Chain A
Amino acid sequence: MGKPILIAEDSAVTRAFLVSTLEDMEDFEIIEASTGFEALKQLPRRKFSLIITDINMPDINGLELINFVKNNINYRDIPLIVVTTEGSERDRKKGLALGADEYLVKPIDPEALQEVVMRYLGNSKE
């Protein structure tokens, strides 16, 4: 089984897109969460190599998830990519200030995503 990646995104279509883009790269173990709550529940279950999150989710927003991850000693080293539709500039700045490692704007170019993922997973631990 490949490196575990957590995807937090409420749109099933976008999740499917992310999954298929990642699967084209290598055999990751991809865990999908359709809400922020689900993502929080998944966090302690595995040692994730990467987290990809949306900002606009129905229960807790992506900023809160970033804050939670980046302030938790167990998770703060996990690279975190924010994937969102071009949102308010303020939200974007906040996301980066909270410690998000990358910020990708939808519609996402699969190659750009793959490149970013490669960059972080190549560096993480080998």
Chain B
Amino acid sequence: MVGDIPIDEFLGEAEDIVDSLNRDLLAINEAVSKKKKFDPALINNIFRAAHSLKGISGLFGFTELTGLAHTLESLLDRLRLGKVELTDDLLDLLFESADMLRAIVAGKGKGQEAPNARDVDELIERLESGEPRPKETRQDDVMSCVGLDILAVLTEYEEHRLHENIKDGMHIIKIRAAFDLATFDEGLTELQALAKQQGEIITTLPSAEESSEDKITFDLIIGTERPLEVVKESLSGRSLTFTLLREGSRAAASQEEGPAPAREEEGKEENEPGAEEAAAEPKEAPPREAGDAGASLRTISQTVRVDIGKLDNLMNIVGELVIAKNIMTQLIERLRAEMGFTELSIELVKNTRTMERKLSELQSGVLEVRMVPVGQIFDKLHRNVRKLSRELEKEIEFVAEGGDTELDKLIIEDLADPLMHIIRNALDHGIEVKAERIQLGKPAKGLIRLRAFQRGNHVVIEIYDDGAGINYDRIKRKAVEMGFFSASAEPRADELIECLFAPGFSTASKVSEISGRGVGLDVVKQNISALSGAIDVESRQGEGAKFTITLPITLAIIQALIVEAGGQTFAIPLNSVQQGLMIQPREIQTIEGREVIELRGKTLPLLRLDKLFGLTPGGNGGKGSGRKTEAAAGEDTGKDVPADARENGEAEKEGEGREIYVVKVGIADRGLGIIVDRLWGRQDIVIKSVGEVLKGIKGIAGATELGNQRTILVLDVMDLMEEAAVSMFSANK
């Protein structure tokens, strides 16, 4: 902390800077690889990013960061001033620097390792060796064009851009506009967006002489291919003054080659001849014209950065409100039971409903604030793919779709590593070398496709590569070797894939032995599970592989099914509940020492919570005890419990059958039946972490408070399915 500034502020801003730097680098790279001209403003943005980073890291005394940012800044300064040429190698070096900056910044955060100081120095050295191109003299043309007054306020960069425009034979035009001081930024932003369609805005100058108490005048200096008359006409209908500062040499070509949208504009306004002086007030803003300049300014002024901790706090408060509301609903029920339908109770119900609705709006509002687009990590991944593919000398086409799909910020943070892991595997071992691909009749360029989309309460992320795919024979050999199957067993493809994610499966095997798949996939799976997500793979040998990650949209407030087993109440996250079932005891079969039932032709493994947690079996003897009444008080209205499950619950309360209640849970394509004694209904819960005591216990995701102020445990469905899978393996042995 420096003065009163916490390090988190620094980290937040530094990360933003590095992110924007990367985005701009990618945009430049994209243009360069397509042999297109890129917007010179991109280089200036990157320069500014390095400059800002240097400024704030200097404040905190982070010398290596300041040093690197400084060297990068000087190089970028030369680049933007045209003293250095942008080559492929230089672009690589810039990407590398961006990575290093990110690593150093990350090292300032908690629990992250800072990069080696020697590596930083070495990078700085390489940056410094970027040979400057001999400088041209150019003061004269610039000065004769704009005059000393304007030259005095241009930064060196702006001077350079002016010079470049003159050199390229552009017309240099000054546009003067007056605005109301109080609201000038709106009008100016609009004008800048329009001017940008004409050419490059070299500078925007507030003019001191022409401004008064409540008016402010700006001069926009633009470089454009279009002659003054055309520019005038495009911007007609506004009170603007145009001055041609320098006649360009491109006049002939320009009229034919104007960009399409601007042409449309010209056509549209043709029937307002000489409107230049006619309208004193600017015409209403054409919204579709909002160009880059407008957009970027808007983001600066209309967003706030919020510490995620503050949002967590808000979320907790909302959670507590939800609990308070649950209590209130129960009180109303009691009031109704005791007093009947009085006018007061009806009013109360009505108002509680309103509160409920508003509360859920508040809840989704707070949730929405936490959401960020997955595109953020796609950018990072893209960068890494670019780097890796160069290292491995494989040509890769990287396609990312659905970057605007939104996920909870905390989930996004923890997603980057697992995704990178999978992509690295695909690049390193999945995608074949060029020669082999050509031989196989595949396109020479390998394809990696990332796709994100929302499905219900989940976000699905697919990572596809068109490489060699999974070699099932090798996995089987390995699995037999490790004792998962007997040599004579004929496991199905999905069972073999299950093995890939088993802990220790990969560490014992050589990377290359299973076509690269399986390198640390158990860790990937653990990471995804920690986010209450699931991961699956589909692959046909030789035709590539598709990893599918399914994640809940948020972890903060979830809906849960409240159940009872072995005398304890548990919450099962509703997003993993597929179905509630009532079965007869005789339907349970035992296969290889494991209880299963047949469900629509498929085998569903069963799990008994009382057994797993060592509780007293609940089905018998629980009835009529005080415990039941207590638990009953926790019952929600239960309106959304699947119909059959609810009926079962009612039936059981009547004390009729000896049926067994099974909650079928599953994520993606896998399922598990959890045997419970009772179903209590659905409720919104806020998961809180359990203390150290319960931390090590498998199958528990956390704890939550019910409306009747009782704390119950929340089951971790992924964990439970894991347990089931493990016992299946040991049964198979």
Contact = CB atoms under 8 A, between A and B. Distances in A.
A41 B184 contact: yes
Contacts of B181: 40-41, 44
Nearest to B181: A44
B209 to A, nearest CB: 7
Interface residues of A, number: 48
Nearest to A37: B185
A84 B52 CA distance: 10
Q: How large is the interface on B (under 10, 10 to 19, 20 to 34, 35 or more residues)?
A: 35 or more
A61 B213 CA distance: 22
B111 interface: no
Contacts of A91: 155-156
A34 B300 contact: yes
B692 to A, nearest CB: 36
Nearest to A24: B3
B498 to A, nearest CB: 48
Contacts of B207: 68
A98 B152 CA distance: 7
A14 B53 CA distance: 10
B155 A55 contact: yes
Contacts of A74: 213
Given A11-B13, A13-B5, A56-B48, A64 B205 contact: yes
A89 B9 CA distance: 30
Nearest to B50: A85
A85 B52 CA distance: 8
A16 B206 contact: no
Interface in B524-553: none
B716 interface: no
A85 B58 contact: yes
Contacts of B185: 37-38, 41
Interface in B14-61: 48, 51-52, 54-56, 58-59, 61
Contacts of A38: 185, 301
A66 B152 CA distance: 11
B153 interface: yes
B66 interface: yes
Contacts of A67: 152-153, 205-206, 208
A72 interface: yes
A61 B158 contact: yes
Contact of B204 (A60, A70, A108): A60
Contact of A20 (B4, B48, B54, B300): B4
B120 interface: no
A63 interface: yes
A106 interface: yes
B208 A13 contact: no
Interface string B182-218: 1011001000000000000001111111010110100
B297 interface: yes
Contact of A64 (B153, B209, B211, B297): B153
A59 interface: yes
A21 B184 contact: no
Interface string A15-41: 011001100100000000011011011
A123 interface: no
A13 B9 contact: yes
B77 interface: yes
B625 interface: no
Contacts of B296: 58
B485 interface: no
Contact of A68 (B70, B206, B297): B206
A38 B216 CA distance: 13
A94 interface: yes
A60 B205 contact: yes
Interface string A84-100: 11111011001001100
Contacts of A107: 55, 58-59, 61, 66
A121 interface: no
B300 A17 contact: no
A55 B181 CA distance: 22
B59 A14 contact: yes
A23 B299 CA distance: 29
Name the prevailing secondary structure of the B interface residues: helix
A64 B66 CA distance: 27
A77 to B, nearest CB: 14
Contacts of B156: 88, 90-91
Interface string B471-483: 0000000000000
A62 to B, nearest CB: 9
B1 to A, nearest CB: 10
B208 A58 contact: no
Contact of B153 (A21, A40, A58, A98): A98
Nearest to A67: B153
A18 B3 CA distance: 10
B500 to A, nearest CB: 45
A70 to B, nearest CB: 8
Contact of B297 (A56, A59, A69, A98): A59
B204 A14 contact: no
A71 B152 contact: no
Contact of A106 (B55, B203, B209): B55
A68 B206 CA distance: 6
Nearest to B182: A41
B10 interface: yes
A43 to B, nearest CB: 9
Contacts of A56: 48, 51-52, 155
A56 B77 CA distance: 12
Contacts of B213: 44, 74
A89 to B, nearest CB: 9
Contact of A37 (B5, B66, B77, B188): B188
A31 to B, nearest CB: 15
Nearest to B10: A13
Contacts of A87: 51
B2 interface: yes
Interface centre among A14, A17, A67 (most CB of B within 10 A): A17
Contact of B208 (A35, A60, A72): A72
A13 B156 CA distance: 26
Interface centre among A24, A59, A84, A97 (most CB of B within 10 A): A59
Interface of A: 10-14, 16-17, 20-21, 24, 34-35, 37-38, 40-41, 44, 55-56, 58-61, 63-72, 74, 84-88, 90-91, 94, 97-98, 106-108, 110
9 contacts: A11-B52, A11-B55, A13-B56, A38-B185, A61-B153, A67-B208, A85-B58, A88-B77, A91-B156
Given A14-B59, A35-B297, 18 more contacts: A12-B13, A17-B3, A20-B3, A20-B5, A34-B300, A37-B185, A37-B188, A41-B184, A55-B155, A58-B296, A61-B155, A67-B153, A87-B51, A88-B77, A91-B155, A97-B152, A98-B152, A106-B59
The 5 closest A-B pairs by CB, nearest first: A107-B58, A71-B208, A20-B3, A20-B4, A13-B56
